[in-house]
Amino acid sequence: MAGVSDRTMRGWHVHEFGGLEAMRLEPLPVPQPGPGQVRVRVHASGINFAETRMRAGTYSGQALPFTMGMESAGVVDAVGPGVTACRAGDRVFGRARGSHAEYVLMDELHALPLPDSLDFVGGAAIPVGWLTAWHALVTVADPAPGARVLIEAVASSVGSAALQIAKWHGCWVAGTASRDDKLARARGWGADAVYNYRTDDVAARVRADTDGHGIDVGLMTIGEETAQALFDSMAYEGRIVMYGSTGGRQVCFSLNIGTRNLQLHSMSISTSARFPTETMRTFRELALPRFADGTFRPVVDVVLPFEELPRAHELVDARTHFGKIVLTVP
């Protein structure tokens, strides 16, 4: 769009790692799209747990300074050299670093067409959570219909997406959380069983609910607080996919899990070679039509104005949300 390149935009920028005060809403140059990139006028951006670590300086590889945000939805307003799949005016959503700003650069590969049935807030609630859950379940675990799936932190952005994906896959799905109100909401979104890992004996409940079989696929994200209960819940030949370390990175477990032939997988959508080739392809082919027809629904809990990013981080820390916290960008 002619003229935009001369202007500045507002964006949430971090110069030094720290607390909420480290994030400053300030004027920044409007970015120019390079080869294979599109520039998106952001209308909404999603909040992720990882951003709290980026801000604090505990997210591996995060360099200073940087603009906050990992995903957004908006309208393409300029395309870089070689871009063929997007045009100015397209409604898109996708992963893009620097999304808590009025404009962001998105790789053409990551820019997904926003179905007409979704607004920008819904679109911004999808990319990181759903693509992570899709990679964990569809690409890595690939459970058979009827498999028993347990989703740790089912109320999280990733967990609430995994719940819908696993149900669509025909699985029996259990979810855990630290609060009963979140478990009630998970039931409302289709969970077959829910466990409060603070108050329930999760492994005993799983055994009772699966007639002694146990869990075929466990999505692991919390860490030491819940790891043993997850191992104890697993069925013979069960697969654990570890995608997060929300509660800490050190986990201690007995290697006798080998006697049950448990398989441990770990993953990151940022570094997996299978992510761009398999996950993005199958997500476009299989998930996008499900969003268009309403089978899949973004899980939006709280919508805040752009200026309230620090409040959004407070809510992440409070751990009361179910699904996504989204900022609207005027």
Ligand X SMILES: NC(=O)c1ccc[n+]([C@@H]2O[C@H](COP(=O)([O-])OP(=O)(O)OC[C@H]3O[C@@H](n4cnc5c(N)ncnc54)[C@H](OP(=O)(O)O)[C@@H]3O)[C@@H](O)[C@H]2O)c1
Interaction of residue 143 with ligand X, rule CB under 6 A: no
Interaction of residue 127 with ligand X, rule CB under 6 A: no
Instruction: Please give the Cα distance from 40 to 105 (Å, whole number).
Output: 6
Candidate list 147, 177, 227, 309; residue touching ligand X; CB under 6 A: 177
Counting residues that bind ligand X (by CB under 6 A) gives 28
Interaction of residue 319 with ligand X, rule CB under 6 A: yes
Please identify, using beta-carbon distances, which residue of 22 and 202 lies nearer to ligand X: 202
Candidate list 247, 265, 292, 310; residue touching ligand X; CB under 6 A: 247
Instruction: Please give the Cα distance from 163 to 185 (Å, whole number).
Output: 11
Scanning 9-17, 106-114, 174-182, 255-263 for contacts with ligand X by CB under 6 A, the matching segment is 174-182
Map the footprint of ligand X across residues 250-269, applying CB under 6 A: 267-269
Candidate list 72, 157, 164, 210; residue touching ligand X; CB under 6 A: 157
Interaction of residue 156 with ligand X, rule CB under 6 A: yes
In what side-by-side order are the strands of the sheet with 148-151?
A: 193-196, 172-177, 148-151, 215-220, 234-242, 263-266
Cβ atoms of residues 124 and 94 within 8 Å: no
Degrees, nearest 5: CA angle 298-320-61: 75
Candidate list 42, 155, 300, 312; residue touching ligand X; CB under 6 A: 155
Scanning 81-89, 128-136, 141-149, 283-291 for contacts with ligand X by CB under 6 A, the matching segment is 128-136
Structure-token pair, residue 118: 């979704």
Secondary structure of residue 266 in the 3-state scheme: strand
Instruction: Please give the Cα distance from 109 to 111 (Å, whole number).
Output: 6
Please identify, using beta-carbon distances, which residue of 98 and 129 lies nearer to ligand X: 129
Instruction: List, as one string, the DSSP characters of 61-90.
Output: TPPSSEE--SEEEEEEEEE-TT--S--TT-
Interaction of residue 129 with ligand X, rule CB under 6 A: yes
Interaction of residue 118 with ligand X, rule CB under 6 A: no
- Per-residue binding letters, 37-76, with ligand X (x by CB under 6 A): -----------xxx--------------------------
Instruction: Please give the Cα distance from 102 to 114 (Å, whole number).
Output: 18
Q: What is the DSSP letter of 2?
A: T
**Which spans of this chain sit near ligand X (rule: CB under 6 A)?**
48-50, 128-129, 132, 153, 155-158, 177-179, 182, 221-222, 243-247, 267-270, 316, 319
